[in-house]
């Protein structure tokens, strides 16, 4: 019963969004695409437009994304403690239980 309801919800969502997106879709002028493809060579000096967007035009995003990578690793160190880190955790827990 539970699976039927969620299947129904997912199906109706899919039909709703495809019908709405197909019926009302309207393409406006992709200005960003035109600007990048024409100016990326003299602006950033790369032969590949994707690197130009990634490292020059939107470098601000890439910096945050590298920060996310580092945070994921710090999270890894917190959630999966190595053997030597575990010794002081259990020591503190025994200290607390006393």
Partner 1 sequence: MENLLVPLHMLVLLPVGIGALTFFLPRKAYQAVMLLGSLFVTAAAVQLFITVRWGSEIIQFVAGWPEVVAIKLVADGISAPLVLLAAVFFTSAYIFSTRAGHMDKTFVFLFLMLESALFGIFLSGDLFNIYVVMELSMITIAILIMYKQEKQSVYDAMLYILMNFIAMAFMVMGIAYMYRLTGVLDLMVIEQRLAELPDPRAAVLPYSMIFTAVAVKAAMLPLFSWLPRAHGAPSAPSIVSAVLSGIQVKAGVYLLVRLSIVFSPVIDAQMLFLVLGFLTSVAGFLLAIAQKDIKLILAYHTISQVGLIIMGLNLGSDVAFWGGMYHIINHALFKGLLFLTAGVIIDTYGVRSVKEIRGVFRSMPVIGIAALAGVLGITGAPFFNGSISKYFIQEGIQGNWAEAGLYLINFGTILSFVKYSTILFGSPPRHLQKPRKDPFITVISLAFGAAIFSGGIFGSQAVSLVFGPQYSAAGAMGIEKISIFAATLALGVLVYRYGVLRIEGVLSGVRNFKYNFNQITVLISLFFVLLLGYSYITMG
Partner 2 sequence: MEALEYFFRQLSISDLAVVLFFIGLYGAMTQRSIIKTIMSIGIMDVAAITFFMMSNFEQGARSPVTGTPPEQMADPVPQALMITAIVIGVSVVAMCLAMYMRVVFRYGTADWNILIRRLED
Partner 3 sequence: MKHENDLPEQSLILEVVIGFLYPFMLLLGFFIIVNGHHTPGGGFQGGSVLAALFIARYVIFPYNTMDSEKMHAFQRIFLALILLTPMLLLFTGFITRNPEFRSVYLLIMNILIGLQVGLELGVAILRFAFFEGVGKTWKL
- Enumerate binding residues for partner 3 (CB under 8 A): 42-48, 50-51, 54-56, 59, 62-63, 66-67, 69-70, 72-73, 76-77, 80-83, 86, 90
d(CA 73, CA 4) in angstroms, rounded, equals: 39
Q: For residue 30, what are its two tokens? A: 């992709």
Q: How many CB atoms within 10 Å of residue 6? A: 9
Residue 74 binding partner 1, by CB under 8 A: yes
Residue 17 binding partner 2, by CB under 8 A: yes
**44-80 as b/e: b if 16+ CB within 10 A:** beeeebeebbbeebeeeeeeeeeeeeeeeeeeeeeee
d(CA 57, CA 37) in angstroms, rounded, equals: 12
Residue 37 binding partner 2, by CB under 8 A: yes
> Which of 20, 38, 86, 87 contacts partner 2 by CB under 8 A?
38
The residue ranges that bind partner 1 (CB under 8 A) are 2, 5-6, 9-10, 12-13, 16-17, 20-21, 23-33, 35-36, 39, 43, 56-61, 63-65, 67-68, 71-72, 74-75, 77-79, 81, 89, 92-93, 96
């Amino acid at each position: 019963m539970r699976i039927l309801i969620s299947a129904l919800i997912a199906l109706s969502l899919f039909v709703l969004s495809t019908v709405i997106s197909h019926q009302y879709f309207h393409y406006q002028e992709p200005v960003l695409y035109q600007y990048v493809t024409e100016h990326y060579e003299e602006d950033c000096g790369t032969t590949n437009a994707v690197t130009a967007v990634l490292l020059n035009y939107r470098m601000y995003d890439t910096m945050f994304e590298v920060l996310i990578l580092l945070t994921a690793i710090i999270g890894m160190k917190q959630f999966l403690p190595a053997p030597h880190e575990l010794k002081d955790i259990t020591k503190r827990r025994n200290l607390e239980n006393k």
